[in-house]
Chain A
Amino acid sequence: MKRTVSILLIFLSLTVAAQHRQLPAAAIARIIGKMPAKDQPQLDSCMQQITKLGQQGITSMAMLLATYQGNSRVRLQYALSGYAAYVTTAGKETERSKAIKAYCAALKQLPRADDKLFVINQLQRFADNSAVPLLKAYLPAQQLGEAATAALAQINTPDAIVALLKALDKANSKSEISLITALGRTRYLSALDAVTLRTSSADTRVKRAAYYALAEIGNAESEPLLAAAAEKAGYHYEATGATGAYLLYIRRLADNWPVAPAITAANKLLQRCRTDDLVHVRIAALKVIADVKGADASPLLMMEADDKNTVYRAAVLEMAGRIMNAANTDQWIAKARMAKGTVKAEIITMMGNSRQRTVIPLLREALKNEEQNVRLSAIHAAAHLESGDLMPDLMIMMKTADTTEMKAIAETIQYFKGRDMSDRIATAMLQQPPFAQILLLHLLEKKMAADRAPQIRFLLKSTDPAVVQAATATLKALNISSE
């Protein structure tokens, strides 16, 4: 009797086990059959069905990568990657945790490297620290090491970073570059010694990766080494990337507190990179200081705005424009008043671009400057202010301007706001020289100022045939009779 009951129990348990094995298989087939989900409701439904498979069921599904071919395999890829994304939705932490275990179990068992690679790539999208013990085992693998490195860098927990650091000791030069770069990305201070060691590598590519990783880590101890490397490179762009790394390092230093070491280093570069071929390095150093100091950088930028190099001055003024505010506008106005020629014109242009209305008196003065490039910069700056405040000044100037300035004024007026602009143009037009009148007629035509017919008709009496011709054309375009 006892024996009969035992046999019956074993039979029943096997049947239940077999059913359990078949149930996921059938469910998996149903899910895969619906892939790719056509819309959000179908996607949500499929993802919920995958969740119901449980951890082992999901592993079973992932294991099908080893056997599925053709369209079935593609559908399986849709399901696995879809689920990898699904479990990263906020509130799905339990599902995510189970999925990580399930995908890791499959990764361990899948025999082929390309299937393992697929799973590692999915883990990069959703795995947490629990996947680190398995992923780190693939770091030395020929085909999988780089994918595992990327996944661990993405996970970016202390365990993941330690795994990358430990792998560095046994790495060949190819994986060394990947590991060093990944460690740099994590900005892991404990990697400092190992990375520093690689800066003396005979392989330029390894050296370069190490310089950049040190830059990213941004520790004060690295300053002498990186500064010396950049100096050795003559602060030029070359294969080791030492100068770029040093500048990145200074920026990272500036992210920390205190910021004084970053400013000291940047100032040193400002002094050393005075030649024209290093102007971009000098600009980059100045940018660090400008970013750190914010609006307080104005005095330095004002000094640098007098530099002989056009490229440098343009960069200085770009930085100044970004920190322009009510407080330092007056200082820049004073600077512009003191400046002469091209520098004056450049500052005026910058101030126009920054659209501070307090600059209007300066522009008014600049319109009367003896140098044409200063006058033109003021005309163009007025366009950026969009304000008709300078309209009377421009109309007065237009009377004696040359054709270049007349064209610039007419161009600028187009940007002025104001419902009465056509009226003001038409009234001022009558007092202008012939070429200016023609330009202003074109403006009235563009503004479809049919209500300005009296002023336009008045110009039909001009002694200049070109003005008469333009007035006639404008009247025709506006569909107004000449009478």
Chain B
Amino acid sequence: MTEQKKTHSRRTFLRNSLGAAAAFTIIPRHVLGRGYLAPSDQLTKGVIGTGSMGKQHFPYAGTRVVAICDVDSRHLQEAKQMLGNDVKTFDDYRELIQLPEVDIVHIATPPHWHGIMAEEAARAGKDIWCEKPMTRTIGEGKRVMEAVQQYGRIFRLNTWFRFEDNFYGLNTPVKPIKKLVNSGLLGWPLTVTLGPQTGFDWKFNWIGKTNLPAVPVPAELNYDRWLGPAPCKPYNPHRVHQTFRGYWDYDGGGLGDMGQHYLDPVQYLLGKDNTSPVSVEIDAPLQHPDAVGAWKRITYTYKDGCRIILDGEGKDQKAAFIEGPAGKLYPGFRSDIPDLEKVLATYPEPQPQVTNFTEAVLQRKKFALNEENGHRSCTLVNMAKIALQVGRSLEFDPEKQLFLYDDGANRLIDPPTRNSWK
């Protein structure tokens, strides 16, 4: 499903459900304080990054865009034309964040900005909607989590498969699979395989280009600001906008693009929202220092023996999506457990989740995919990126969030960044 279609279905859902939610707790505006609107009103938002992703997120029920920010003046003008002259425009995200009338900061920039902007928005007392992947590094993720929790903010990471929609090629939502995992019918530990054979395409079209020639920066783009914390490298259009994912400085190719979409629901299924794997093994060619390349197989192992296999090539055609000592589950909810549907019906439903962001903000409820579990599922992505960059398998301490006996890998957990743009 495209992000655009997703926005519309979410909007419909919000329209239908907000009334009931509001009836549950009517909060007077004066109690909520400045910047918070009564449930009958709309929340206001400032969108940072008005490229294709940002524009898709202008409309959703219960919110109204009051400010936008982009370092590309062409994007900013196009967005302003869509939203009307009342919307405030900025090329520095800090000015948008500073606006008292903004309730929610929506971060739709490339990932190398997510951590810095989310941390800053939390400090300004804003609630946050952040596109995936949550952060480009594990260190940034930790800081976002700390800032959101310190300032008491509501944070939503924008991937949704743990609570709605069919989970890609499985053609089934995650909820019944969670029910199955919770039931124990598959046994323990479990192995999950994410590859083309189970319905997950790793989008290797996002690989970067090497040896790009430097070309003049277009007048409409403030390239220094676009780079921000990323190292200064000569401009080439392939590095920015639609194709930035192919470069380690900004993201991590198909793994960065789809990784958290695919891995977050699996983390939820395995009940690993508060931890990380103890190892990541890779089978991959040597990676270029700048351009992201392809890989063959990535395997995560948790302390209890649960494994997640990212099968880039789909070599193991017989692999089940999820396999335990007592059973297997394949796409379409096919299983080797007899009468699975009937047996499973007798088990309790998985725990309820808060899946309406507007409701979460108004009623101060933790969103289903928040700063804490979002950081953990993004850590899965970032662990694999680091293993690929250092060209070896790694062991990880989930508590300290550091690699074991590997200085080279640990240097990529929270590397010093460029700061002159500040």
**Interaction A to B:** yes
Residues of A within 8 A of B (CB): 35-40, 43, 70-71, 73-74, 77-78, 80-82, 84-90, 114, 118, 121-122, 124-126, 143, 146-147, 149-151, 153-154, 174-175, 177-178, 181-182, 185, 205, 208-209, 237-239, 241, 243-244, 247, 251, 275-281, 283-284, 287-288, 308-315, 318, 342, 345, 373, 376, 380, 383-384, 386, 404, 411, 414-419, 421-422, 446-449
Contacting residue for A150 out of B35, B123, B341, B415, CB 8 A:
B415
Cβ contacts under 8 Å, A35 to chain B: 286
CA distance A139 to B250 in the complex (A): 25
Contacting residue for B391 out of A86, A209, A281, CB 8 A:
A86
CA distance A384 to B348 in the complex (A): 12
CB closest chain-A residue, reference B123: A244
Whether A205 contacts B422 by the Cβ 8 Å rule is yes
29 A-B pairs (CB sep. < 8 Å): A40-B391, A74-B211, A74-B288, A88-B390, A89-B392, A89-B408, A147-B231, A174-B420, A181-B419, A243-B123, A275-B33, A276-B30, A276-B34, A277-B34, A277-B35, A277-B100, A279-B33, A279-B152, A280-B122, A280-B123, A284-B151, A288-B150, A376-B24, A380-B352, A383-B352, A415-B348, A416-B348, A448-B341, A448-B345
The 6 closest A-B pairs by CB, nearest first: A88-B408, A276-B33, A315-B152, A314-B364, A280-B125, A283-B152
CA distance A395 to B346 in the complex (A): 19
Known: A36-B293, A147-B231, A150-B415. A238 touches B98 (CB 8 A): yes
Tell me if B389 is interfacial: C-beta within 8 Å of chain A: yes
Tell me if B16 is interfacial: C-beta within 8 Å of chain A: no
Known: A244-B123, A280-B153, A416-B348. A43 touches B286 (CB 8 A): yes
Whether B408 contacts A154 by the Cβ 8 Å rule is no
Whether A85 contacts B346 by the Cβ 8 Å rule is no
Contacting residue for B285 out of A38, A239, A247, CB 8 A:
A38
Minimum CB–CB distance from B365 to chain A (whole Å) comes to 8
Please give 7 more A-B residue pairs, beta carbons under 8 A apart, in addition to A85-B392, A277-B34, A309-B32.
A35-B286, A85-B408, A146-B420, A239-B98, A277-B100, A314-B364, A446-B345
Cβ contacts under 8 Å, A77 to chain B: 210, 288-290
Minimum CB–CB distance from B299 to chain A (whole Å) comes to 13
Majority secondary structure, A binding face: helix
Contact with A along B286-310 (1 / 0, CB 8 A): 1111100100100000000000000
Minimum CB–CB distance from B304 to chain A (whole Å) comes to 20
CA distance A37 to B288 in the complex (A): 10
CB closest chain-A residue, reference B404: A90
Whether A125 contacts B411 by the Cβ 8 Å rule is yes
CB closest chain-A residue, reference B345: A448
Chain B residues touching A, range: 35 or more
Cβ contacts under 8 Å, B284 to chain A: 39
CA distance A281 to B349 in the complex (A): 39
CB closest chain-B residue, reference A287: B150
Whether B342 contacts A448 by the Cβ 8 Å rule is yes
Contacting residue for A448 out of B27, B346, B411, CB 8 A:
B346
CA distance A175 to B419 in the complex (A): 8
Cβ contacts under 8 Å, B352 to chain A: 380, 383-384, 411, 415
Whether A417 contacts B345 by the Cβ 8 Å rule is no
Contacting residue for B288 out of A81, A243, A419, A447, CB 8 A:
A81
CB closest chain-A residue, reference B95: A239
Whether A311 contacts B123 by the Cβ 8 Å rule is no
Minimum CB–CB distance from B176 to chain A (whole Å) comes to 11
Known: A125-B411, A182-B416, A283-B151. A309 touches B211 (CB 8 A): no
CA distance A177 to B418 in the complex (A): 10
CA distance A434 to B153 in the complex (A): 43
Known: A88-B408, A237-B98. A182 touches B289 (CB 8 A): no
CA distance A118 to B234 in the complex (A): 12
Cβ contacts under 8 Å, B232 to chain A: 143, 146-147
Whether B152 contacts A37 by the Cβ 8 Å rule is no
CB closest chain-B residue, reference A70: B211
Tell me if B156 is interfacial: C-beta within 8 Å of chain A: no
CA distance A43 to B124 in the complex (A): 47
Whether A209 contacts B389 by the Cβ 8 Å rule is no
Interface of chain B residues 1 through 59 with chain A (CB within 8 A): 23-25, 27, 30-36
Interface of chain B residues 323 through 379 with chain A (CB within 8 A): 341-342, 345-346, 348-352, 363-366
Cβ contacts under 8 Å, B290 to chain A: 77
Minimum CB–CB distance from A225 to chain B (whole Å) comes to 19
Cβ contacts under 8 Å, A417 to chain B: 348
Whether A153 contacts B152 by the Cβ 8 Å rule is no
Whether A150 contacts B417 by the Cβ 8 Å rule is yes
Whether B422 contacts A209 by the Cβ 8 Å rule is yes
Cβ contacts under 8 Å, B341 to chain A: 448
Whether A88 contacts B411 by the Cβ 8 Å rule is yes
Minimum CB–CB distance from A18 to chain B (whole Å) comes to 32
Tell me if B149 is interfacial: C-beta within 8 Å of chain A: yes
Minimum CB–CB distance from A156 to chain B (whole Å) comes to 9
CA distance A223 to B187 in the complex (A): 56
Contacting residue for A237 out of B124, B345, B389, B408, CB 8 A:
B124
Whether A78 contacts B283 by the Cβ 8 Å rule is no
Whether A447 contacts B346 by the Cβ 8 Å rule is yes
Tell me if B79 is interfacial: C-beta within 8 Å of chain A: no
Contact with A along B380-422 (1 / 0, CB 8 A): 0000000001111000000000000111110110011111101
CB closest chain-B residue, reference A408: B24
CB closest chain-A residue, reference B288: A78
Tell me if B94 is interfacial: C-beta within 8 Å of chain A: yes
Known: A36-B293, A318-B366, A386-B351. A177 touches B419 (CB 8 A): yes
Known: A311-B33, A384-B351. A419 touches B346 (CB 8 A): yes
Known: A39-B283, A150-B418, A417-B348. A310 touches B407 (CB 8 A): no
Known: A237-B98, A237-B124, A284-B150. A185 touches B416 (CB 8 A): yes
CA distance A311 to B35 in the complex (A): 11
CB closest chain-B residue, reference A238: B98
